């Protein structure tokens, strides 16, 4: 990873997953913009993080301003707000990588796999944004509570996207968050990672686990 770290906008950074990623990436030296539907909520989330770690570079903005000013944008909003949020921030995403962590959970049966007709939430995002934005899917199977705590996380991240260079960039972010990332193929494969979330929710409930995850076995050949 180069010394010049990007500015990352986390849309939905006021939530558990977005806040956890903000906490990890800001401490790894990235400039973080926490995006929210309201300026006040974004600023409050930034203030809460700075109250814990005063030397971080974290600010809060409305979603469109956050997306416009960032180099990389991460979407961490609930499935019900995915498309509406993307429509608002679309002008600020042109030419950028969008990391979509959306899982198509449909309450109340969030422990049951319920995939959208398009195939996956990530493919819905790509359809909404068009080819001017490179959508990469990641982080669906990481327990948010782990990201907000100072311990190693026994969970790997499946990274899918249609461009190898975009996946490489996101795997850098995965590693900066203290996790192991894996190239998992084109965006069409995002459906597998998204579906696994409901399976993990069921495992958590049945076995009383706080944030179960997945680990890929085997050792890659050097350079792969």
Per-residue model confidence as pLDDT tens digits over 10-27:
999 889 999 999 999 999
With respect to residue 183, please indicate whether it lies within any of the assigned structural domains.
yes
Q: What is the average pLDDT score of the chain?
A: 94
CATH number at residue 59: 3.40.50.720
Structural domain harbouring 28: 7-207
Q: What is the CA radius of gyration of the chain?
A: 16
With respect to residue 172, please indicate whether it lies within any of the assigned structural domains.
yes
In the numeric block, the tokens 């899982």 are attached to: 103
With respect to residue 193, please indicate whether it lies within any of the assigned structural domains.
yes
List pLDDT tens digits, range 176-215. 999 999 999 999 999 999 999 999 999 999 999 989 999 9
pLDDT at 220 over 90: no
Phi, psi of 128 (to 5 degrees): -65, -40
3-state per-residue secondary structure call for 135-163 = EEECCCCCCHHHHCCCCCCCCEEEEEECC
Which of 31, 2, 17 lies closest to 157 in space, CA to CA? 17
pLDDT at 150 over 60: yes
With respect to residue 161, please indicate whether it lies within any of the assigned structural domains.
yes
In the numeric block, the tokens 């398009």 are attached to: 118
With respect to residue 2, please indicate whether it lies within any of the assigned structural domains.
no
Q: How many domains does the chain divide into?
A: 1
pLDDT band of residue 223 (cuts 50, 70, 90) is: low
The predicted pLDDT at position 3 comes to 58
Which of 91, 119, 96 lies closest to 190 in space, CA to CA? 119
pLDDT band of residue 1 (cuts 50, 70, 90) is: very low
With respect to residue 62, please indicate whether it lies within any of the assigned structural domains.
yes
With respect to residue 110, please indicate whether it lies within any of the assigned structural domains.
yes
pLDDT at 151 over 90: no
Which of 211, 98, 215 lies closest to 144 in space, CA to CA? 211
With respect to residue 16, please indicate whether it lies within any of the assigned structural domains.
yes
Residue percentage of the chain with pLDDT more than 70: 97
């Amino acid at each position: 990873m180069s010394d010049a770290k990007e500015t990352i906008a986390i849309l939905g950074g006021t939530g558990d997953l977005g806040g956890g990623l903000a906490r990890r990436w800001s401490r790894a030296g990235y400039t973080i913009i926490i995006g929210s539907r309201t300026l006040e909520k974004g600023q409050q989330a930034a203030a809460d993080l700075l109250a814990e770690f005063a030397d971080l570079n974290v600010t809060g903005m409305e979603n469109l301003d956050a997306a416009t000013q960032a180099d990389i944008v991460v979407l961490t909003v609930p499935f019900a707000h995915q498309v509406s949020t993307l429509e608002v921030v679309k002008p600020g995403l042109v030419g950028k990588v969008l990391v979509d962590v959306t899982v198509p959970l449909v309450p109340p049966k969030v422990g049951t796999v319920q995939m959208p007709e398009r195939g996956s939430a990530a493919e819905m995002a790509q359809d909404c944004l068009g080819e001017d934005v490179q959508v990469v899917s990641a982080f669906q199977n990481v327990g948010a509570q782990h990201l907000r705590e100072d311990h190693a996380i026994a969970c790997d991240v499946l990274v899918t996207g249609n461009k190898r260079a975009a996946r490489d960039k996101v795997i850098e972010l995965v590693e900066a968050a203290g996790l192991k990332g894996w190239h998992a193929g084109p965006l069409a494969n995002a459906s597998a990672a998204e579906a696994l979330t409901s399976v993990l929710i069921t495992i958590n409930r049945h076995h009383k686990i706080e944030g179960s995850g997945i680990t890929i076995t085997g050792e890659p050949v050097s350079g792969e």
